[in-house]
Amino acid sequence: MKALIQRVTEASVSIDGERISAIGRGLLVLLGVQAEDSETSAEKLMDKCLAYRIFSDEQGKMNRSLVDVRGELLLVSQFTLCADTGRGLRPSFSKAAAPAHAEALYEYALAHVESKLGRVAAGRFAADMQVQSVNDGPVTFMLEV
C-alpha cells in the first residue's frame, strides 16, 4: 500500500463540476492499494500518515504531526500510484489490487482514519475526479508499508 501525502493549505475534490469534499490546512493523501494489501497494512499506513511529523514547530522544524496541529485530511483513491514504470513508455498496473479489493481497503482505511480524527473528507472510489490542492512548502512524501 502506498500513500502520496502532501501538506496543503487547502484541497478539494470535484466530480462533474460539483465539489464533493474540501479541507483547509492539513494533508491530501492519495492512496494506492496493491494486490497483496490487507486491513493490517491499511491501518499501519493510515496511522503513519496521521503521525508523520511534517508540520513545523515553533522553531520552524518539521516536528509536528497532523494530529498535533489538529489538521484536516482528504483521502483520495489513486490506483496509478501502484503502476510499474520501470520498463517501456506505458505503465503496467499488474501490481494494483482488483477493483473490489481496492475499494474495500480504501473504505476500511477511510473508516480507520475517521475513528481517529472524527471528520475526514474523501474522494469517490473509481470516479473521474478533479483534485485541486495548494501544496504548502511544497512538502510531499511517498509512504509505503
The pLDDT value given to residue 58: 96
Q: What is the pLDDT of residues 63-92, one digit of tens each?
A: 999 999 999 999 999 999 999 999 999 999
CATH number where 67 lies: 3.50.80.10
- Looking at the chain, the whole-number percentage of residues with pLDDT higher than 90 is 99
The pLDDT value given to residue 77: 98
Q: Which of 6, 55, 79, 125 is catalytic?
A: 79
Question: Is residue 79 among the annotated active site residues?
Answer: yes
Q: Which of 9, 40, 80, 85 is catalytic?
A: 80
Kindly give the parts of the chain with pLDDT less than 70. Answer: none
Q: In 3-state terms, what secondary structure has residue 144?
A: strand
The pLDDT value given to residue 142: 98
Question: Is residue 9 among the annotated active site residues?
Answer: no
Distance between start and end Cα atoms, the chain: 6
Number of separate helices (H) and strands (E) present in the chain: 3, 8
Residue-number span of the structural domain to which 31 is assigned: 2-144
Q: Which of 6, 34, 55, 78 is catalytic?
A: 78
Question: Is residue 78 among the annotated active site residues?
Answer: yes
Task: Count Cβ atoms within 10 A of the Cβ of residue 98 and give its class: 0-12 exposed, 13-18 middle, 19 or more buried.
Answer: exposed
Say how many domains are in the chain: 1
Q: What are phi and psi of 111, to 5 degrees?
A: -65, -40
Helix, strand and coil in the chain, % to nearest 5: 30, 40, 30
